[in-house]
Amino acid sequence: MSRSSSPTSSLNIYTAIEENRRKTALFIAVFVLLIGLIAFAVGIVLGLPVAPAGVVSLVLTAFALLLALWLYRASDRIVLGISEAREAKRQEHLELYRTVENISIAAGIPMPKVYIINDTAPNAFATGRDPAHASVAVTTGLLQKLSKLELEGVIAHEISHIRNFDTRLMVMVAVFVGFIAVLADVMLRYTWYGAGRRTRYKGKGEGSAGAVVLVLAIVALILAPIAAQVIQFAIARQREFLADASSALLTRYPAGLAGALEKITNDTEPLEVATKGTAHLYIANPIKGQESSMNNLFATHPPIKERVARLRAMASAA
């Protein structure tokens, strides 16, 4: 839709929020179907008939969901530890505390814990399983290089991730992607070493049809991890758009976040504590110097120019 990508057009904030929620729901539905498909393929590779393979599919899908629910409870502590974040003291960072407090009140959620990352590269992220168990982390560089209105835009973006349960969603999606990748790898090794050969179908009356089903199952095992990562990236990009729109709704000043994104992107200093495993959490990609058309295709963040254009369009529509 042209009005969502053109910097000269106007974009209604509520329309942007609703559009991104619909797209994310669609991606999640596809993701669940993908998990069911690879679990079914596992049953076929193991030599099971179609009906028992379907049961295996249901069992493994349920296991993946339970695993995600169990792991996401500890994800915030792990991420904060990897990022070398320390809890901020109110007396030392009073303006930051007040900003987080005010935006939290506007969003209607409890105030999250506030953390500081001692790094001059400007960036921020939110984590936590729900609004009652959430944290916002910002770098010292962000506090030094952004104006008050730009800081409000960034904090509103991160608070929006918490309010929209993006922090929970992305942890669960990451677990699903890892589960699919490990399961596919194990089953492919199982197949290559002969345990899943076509001979498993002999004597079962399946003949060439059984062999075709087996080949299709192996193809699914090969393609599923790639498809899972593509869906993960697509979900992440949609949630970034949603958080941008939600931030504009909270602050009523989309230009603040737009200016912050431009400053963060134009800053060439890489964030030392960021890794490829945690990069998707930040408001903008913290890993610098790796931009390319291929990397952009598999990026977890939408292009900054597009995000800024949408925010400017929201400002013109206000």
The yes-or-no answer on residue 158 being catalytic is yes
C-alpha 58/C-alpha 53 separation (Å) is: 9
Task: Please report how many Cα atoms fall inside a 13 Å half-sphere around the Cα of residue 314, on the Cβ side.
Answer: 29
Counted residue by residue, the chain has a size of 318
Sign of CA dihedral 75, 77, 81, 84: positive
Exactly one of 19, 150, 152, 158 is catalytic; name it. Answer: 158
Pairing mode, strands 134-139 and 124-128: antiparallel
Q: Bridge-partner residues for 126, per DSSP?
A: 136
**Closest alpha carbon to 259 in 301, 315, 299, 317:** 315
Integer Cα distance of 228 and 309 in angstroms? 29
Q: Which long-range contacts (CB under 8 A, 24 or more apart) does 67-70 make?
A: 67/175, 67/179, 68/171, 68/172, 68/175, 68/176, 68/179, 69/172
Q: Which residues are catalytic?
A: 158
